[in-house]
Structure 1
Amino acid sequence: MSPVYDCRDEAGLLAGMRHARQALSRGDLVVLPTDTVYGIAADAFNARAVAGLLAAKGRGRQQPPPVLVAGVATLRALVAEVPEPVERLVEEFWPGGLTIVLPAQPSLSWDLGETHGTVAVRMPAHTLTLELLQETGPLAVSSANLTGMPAAVMIDQARDMLGDSVSAYLDAGPSETGIASTIVDATRLVGGAEPVVRVLREGAVSRERLRDVLGDLLEPDPASGHAHHHAPDAGPTPPGSSGA
């Protein structure tokens, strides 16, 4: 079985981080902790590794993973533009449980799946994972579970589901919140006819907190019966919809 490293112990942390860096650099998968739930990670710029991530979860290219980054500078390198309202979101909620979908930088050479020219990005609030991201660069990270199963909040849950499809497991104890990140679609803020931010998945950051930052730029809650009159019909699964 693939090794589990107890990263609450210094020796386990050092060995686990070394194994994780080596595994990711050769295109293997690693399960790591985040501030929300455990995630399964791959080098975002290695198409074979990303395909392996999707296969390990039992899903297709129509459900591309989000990308975790170590900071705002990396966000700027991955997306075509960072609109001012997104700057406000990042300042308020990063690092933390908010994933933001924006048009991807068209010059990037990567293949996350059927993203329709977008990328979902998050900066996690977990010291271990941020340290790893600073060394590896952006990682494609989805929740550490088989598709259709609950996201793992303990390392043993992830290992039971993913087994030897993962090279190493980094154990940091129970997930801090156990609640997946909130995902917002901010693509309409970039050259959109009607600037609006849509909530694709409610999670760690509440709609109320988003509205405190965005005001009327946040699309009304469809569940309230006052859905935005320009809301599109359901389309392809949005990137990052099962992100950690």
Structure 2
Amino acid sequence: MASSRTPRHDVAAAAACLRGGGLVAFPTETVYGLGALATDGRAVARIFAVKGRPSFNPLIVHVADRAAAARIAGFDAEALALADRFWPGPLTLVLPLRDGHGLSPLVTAGQPTVAIRVPAADLAQALLRAVDGPVAAPSANPSGRISATRAEHVREGLGDRVDMVLDGGACPVGLESTILRTGPATLLREGGLPAEAIEAALGHPLPRDVTPGRVQAPGQLASHYAPSAPVRLDVTEAAPDAVHLGFGPVAGDLNLSPESDLGAAAANLFDHLHRIDALARARGLERIDVAPIPEQGLGRAILDRLRRAAAPR
């Protein structure tokens, strides 16, 4: 069912916009995506232009169900088991392209694989079913900057360069999807599905390749998710020239979760980064200091985003 914030006729209009070559920002359970019909090369090229995204960085393709995914990509037994267990949801699988897939080469950055997922959010599902085709959708923000978890983040970051924004409120997961390469399963990006859940499903530890020598999947650039102010991590007390993003008992100017709840911290991360960055500008301060985050469960995905936000630009 579509969100109460977005009438069904808006979903129909958004689907028509996509089929006509337009760009539509829409909410998933993870973050807002900037969508284009994945078979339309001109529309996909607009994604890269609007975001300022390098063309070697591939895009995630969103489809309504596994049957739609199977028309584009090949599934081995392991991939089928993971899809059955975690789709719809915040898991992206990097799979070999099928012959006759029809995707624009820009979507895959010329690679023989495609990053694909089935989102769980009602509004994303309604849109994908109305489009009845694959939608390429990276996060709806300028490349390298903080991801959007609310419609207002999209409007602030991309303005009128997007043809339409579907407002579904705040994204409940708040972190981009976890990305796996299959054959054998290897973690390429930490995300909204904890690695422990995948390991439990597989019955063995999950090898990690989260900072490869070349970009195999979205979200692997060293510098990414960055606010305008520089970021320093693992700080229990902010310096006079910094605002402080807290966690748990470290209060800060804003706190990701006073209760030390990593799920809440993940859901709050990008919204709080937008807010703390604005606070730094308002106060004329030069840096964002971030409290320590435990490196376990969703904490690993949170730290992955924060480390990329803090990386040299």
| TM-score (norm. length: structure 2) | 0.65
Given the superposition, is the C-alpha separation of residues 222 and 35 from structure 1 closer, same or farther in structure 2, using an over 3 Å criterion? closer
For structure 2, list consecutive stretches of 5 or more residues without a partner in the other structure. Answer: 221-313
Match of 2:188 among 175, 200, 206: 200
CA contact (8 A) 1:62 1:236 kept: no
What code does the residue aligned with 2:113 have?
Answer: T
Larger of the two Rg values belongs to structure:
2
Instruction: Report whether the alignment pairs 1:177 with 2:173.
Output: yes
What code does the residue aligned with 1:211 have?
Answer: E
Question: Bigger relative contact order, structure 1 or 2, given CA contacts below 8 A and separation 6+?
Answer: 1
Match of 1:89 among 82, 90, 110: 82
Q: How many residues align?
A: 216
Could you tell me how far apart the structure 2 residues matched to 1:56 and 1:119 are?
22
How many Å apart are 1:218 and its aligned residue?
Answer: 2.9
How many Å apart are 1:91 and its aligned residue?
Answer: 1.4
The aligned residue for residue 237 of structure 1 is 215
Could you tell me how far apart the structure 2 residues matched to 1:154 and 1:52 are?
22
Could you tell me how far apart the structure 2 residues matched to 1:30 and 1:148 are?
20
CA contact (8 A) 2:27 2:167 kept: yes
Q: Secondary structure at the match of 1:22?
A: helix
Q: Secondary structure at the match of 1:171?
A: coil
Q: Which runs of 4+ in 1 moved over 4 A?
A: none
Could you tell me how far apart the structure 1 residues matched to 2:169 and 2:34 are?
16
* 1:190-235 per-position Cα deviation (integer Å, ceiling 9, x unaligned): xxxxxx211111011111111111234732x479xxxxxxxxx933
CA contact (8 A) 1:145 1:161 kept: yes
The aligned residue for residue 43 of structure 1 is 37
Instruction: Report whether the alignment pairs 1:165 with 2:161.
Output: yes
For structure 1, list consecutive stretches of 5 or more residues without a partner in the other structure. Answer: 1-5, 190-195, 224-232
Given the superposition, is the C-alpha separation of residues 110 and 178 from structure 1 closer, same or farther in structure 2, using an over 3 Å criterion? same
Given the superposition, is the C-alpha separation of residues 109 and 142 from structure 1 closer, same or farther in structure 2, using an over 3 Å criterion? same
CA contact (8 A) 1:115 1:238 kept: no
CA contact (8 A) 1:7 1:16 kept: no
Could you tell me how far apart the structure 1 residues matched to 2:86 and 2:110 are?
24
Match of 1:140 among 132, 136, 140: 136
CA contact (8 A) 2:60 2:115 kept: yes
Q: Which residues in structure 2 correspond to 1:212-231 (within 5 Å)?
A: 212-216=200-204, 218-219=206-207, 221=208
| TM-score (norm. length: structure 1) | 0.83
Tell me how large the CA RMSD over aligned residues is: 2.0
The aligned residue for residue 66 of structure 1 is 60
Could you tell me how far apart the structure 2 residues matched to 1:209 and 1:7 are?
28
Percent identity reads 34
